[in-house]
Every structure is written in structure tokens, then in C-alpha cells.
């Protein structure tokens, strides 16, 4: 496995209770279990992971479901433009445009093995493409809330993530 830093897993994270809810401004709100995700066609995305703290994990190979496939199933309503992606860790969430979210991968494996809980398993959002910020890689993703308007800074964890940098 690449040199991805490991941090303590918050007590609120229980991978045995994990489910993903896709809610909000969608025609078909849906809950997915891990088996539901792994039954979908999976893709591999290999890239370096750079953190705002200054470290880089090179050549990580993430395997998961393109979020575009999940959005196709739930059918965002016309005018939907954003999502708030929340994790199991007590309110950590990230605002992301639906366009960028559609390009992301909901990773369930890392470097050929099931994604360990220490690295965000059972499912972690991995934004792809240029300009992705490390705090957008939400660990233990449990909800994608589709919205017609952009979430406010109070809804997101950018400040939480940046406050961890010493």
C-alpha cells in the first residue's frame, strides 16, 4: 500500500453499520450497502495523493464505483448543482459540485485490498482530476445529499481539515 498517512479512527465510525444514503434533490432516494456497491462495475484510478500538510502518497491505486453511476440511479432533479458529502465521523462533510462529484470514485479498495477502516473504509470519496483538495477525500462516506444550491461554509469541513495542520 502506498504511503498514505494513517490517523486514529473516531469512535463514531462503525464499518459494520455502514450504509450509503443518496438523498436530497433526487427523484429516487436510495440506500446502498457495501454489497450493492461491489456488485456494480468497478473502475481503478491510480494517482498520487497530496495533502495540504505537505506530504504525498505516490501511486495509490483506488478501486471503486464511479459516482456518476450512483447519480444515474437516483436521478438528480433539474437544477441540482451541488452535493454535500458526509462521513460517519461526526459531521465531517464536503461541498462539491455535481459535475466534479460525477467524476469522482467511491473507493472500496486500495492497492488491491479492501479499503481498511483506517484509510476510510468501507467507502471513501476519491475526487479525480486536477484541482482536487485533500479534504474533499471524505472517509467513511455515509451520505451524498444532492442540493440545488451550494452548501455554506458552515456546512462543510474545509476549516476543520485545515485546522488539523500545525
pLDDT digits (tens, 9 = 90+) for 16-55: 889 999 999 999 999 999 999 989 999 998 876 656 565 5
Q: What pLDDT, on a 0 to 100 scale, did the predictor assign at position 166?
A: 47
**How is the chain split into domains, by residue range?**
15-163
Burial class (CB in 10 A: 0-12, 13-18, 19+), 166: exposed
Number of alpha carbons in the 13 Å side-chain half-sphere of residue 60: 20
Q: Hunting for cell 461491489 — which residue is that?
A: 38
What kind of fold does domain 15-163 have according to CATH? Sulfite Oxidase; Chain A, domain 2 (3.90.420)
Q: Point out the residues of the chain with pLDDT beneath 70.
A: 1-8, 10, 48-57, 90, 130-135, 153-166
User: How far is Cα 8 from Cα 131, in angstroms, rounded to an integer?
Assistant: 27
Record the pTM: 0.82
Q: How many CB atoms lie within 10 A of CB 15?
A: 16
Q: What pLDDT, on a 0 to 100 scale, did the predictor assign at position 92?
A: 79
3-state secondary structure of 50: strand
Cα 112-144-100 angle, rounded to 5 deg: 75
Amino acid at each position: 500500500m502506498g504511503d498514505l498517512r494513517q490517523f486514529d479512527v473516531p469512535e463514531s465510525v462503525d464499518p459494520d453499520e455502514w450504509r450509503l444514503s443518496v438523498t436530497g434533490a433526487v427523484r429516487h432516494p436510495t440506500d446502498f450497502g457495501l454489497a450493492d456497491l461491489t456488485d456494480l462495475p468497478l473502475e481503478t484510478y491510480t494517482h498520487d495523493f497530496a495533502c495540504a500538510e505537505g506530504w504525498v502518497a505516490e501511486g495509490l491505486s483506488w478501486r471503486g464505483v464511479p459516482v456518476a453511476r450512483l447519480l444515474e440511479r437516483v436521478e438528480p432533479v433539474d437544477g441540482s448543482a451541488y452535493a454535500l458529502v458526509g462521513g460517519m465521523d461526526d459531521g465531517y462533510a464536503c461541498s462539491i459540485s455535481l459535475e466534479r462529484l460525477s467524476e469522482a470514485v467511491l473507493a472500496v479498495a486500495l492497492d488491491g485490498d479492501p479499503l481498511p477502516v483506517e484509510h476510510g473504509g468501507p467507502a471513501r470519496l476519491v475526487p479525480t482530476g486536477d484541482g482536487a483538495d485533500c479534504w474533499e477525500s471524505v472517509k467513511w462516506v455515509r451520505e451524498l445529499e444532492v442540493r440545488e444550491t451550494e452548501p455554506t461554509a458552515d456546512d462543510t469541513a474545509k476549516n476543520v481539515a485545515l485546522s488539523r495542520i500545525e
